[in-house]
Amino acid sequence: MTSKAQPEQSASKKRRERERQEMRTRLLDAARVIASEEGWNAVTIRRIAGRLEYSAPILYQHFSSKEELLVELMMVGFAELAERLRLAAEGLPEGRLVAMAEAYWAFAFAAPELYQAMNGMDGVPFGTAETPREAKNAFRIFRIALQGIAEERGAELADPPGAVDTIWAFLHGCVSLAMAGRIAGGKERSRTLMLTALEPMFTAQLRD
């Protein structure tokens, strides 16, 4: 009787965990929809509950506050970005640098509300011991790819962390200015300028 009960309890536990994860995903998706329609200030636990037709107390079982929910969203965002960068880095050697820049750009404009939350909120430190694992992974993938491109050219990065910070900051700056409508010619010209300047900027990070 005991041996039979244990598998049943294990299956029940797995089912509850799966249902919990599904609910958290639904909450995060609803938050993203509200943010895309009305901005992050409009995102509250009660607004999410209303959209999903749940009571707010049920949602508080999954996220104790709006801040906790937004931090979780940012981690999802960095995980998505890391995967896009990883796939782009698997392409042909001569096109990997541009492919990664295009992957970064595509991610940002596919979900601008999420991108802005990832890069515009307090409490997500970079370059410290407190940097979230998902963000560290995205930077790690980026660094490995840049080092690989340099090696294929018979060179090396003069300062690998500095190269990552410089190229990442460049991409983020281009995306942010394009989103804000600050570059004449609009989004497409902004993207063209970014890709045109990318190669010289990367080359400046190399040494023979």
pTM over 0.85: no
pLDDT reading at 15 higher than 60? yes
pLDDT reading at 186 higher than 60? yes
Mean pLDDT over 82-97 rounds to 91
Mean pLDDT over 106-129 rounds to 76
The confidence score (pLDDT) of residue 127 equals 60
- 3 state SS of 124: coil
Under 8 Å between Cβ of 45 and 60: yes
CATH superfamily of the domain spanning 67-208: Tetracycline Repressor, domain 2 (1.10.357.10)
The confidence score (pLDDT) of residue 129 equals 64
Binned at pLDDT 50, 70 and 90, residue 123 comes out as very low
Least confident segment among 18-27, 94-103, 123-132, 198-207 = 123-132
Mean pLDDT over 77-83 rounds to 94
Rounded CA-CA distance 98/88 in Å is 9
The confidence score (pLDDT) of residue 5 equals 61
pLDDT reading at 124 higher than 60? no
Q: What are the residue ranges spanned by the domains of the chain?
A: 1-64, 67-208
Of 58, 116, 174, 113, the residue nearest 48 (C-alpha): 58
Fold for 1-64, please state it: Arc Repressor Mutant, subunit A (1.10.10)
**How large is the greatest C-alpha to C-alpha distance in the chain, in angstroms?**
74
Percent of the chain with pLDDT over 90: 55
pLDDT in tens, 16-69: 889 888 999 999 999 989 988 888 888 898 899 999 988 888 888 888 888 888
The confidence score (pLDDT) of residue 8 equals 67
- 3 state SS of 156: strand
Return all residues near 55 (Cβ < 8 A) that are at least 6 apart: 49
In 99-122, which positions are buried (b, 16+ CB within 10 angstroms) versus exposed (e)? Answer: bbbbbbbebbeebebbbbbbeeee
The confidence score (pLDDT) of residue 67 equals 84
What's the mean pLDDT when you consider all of the chain? Answer: 89
Least confident segment among 133-137, 167-171, 199-203 = 133-137
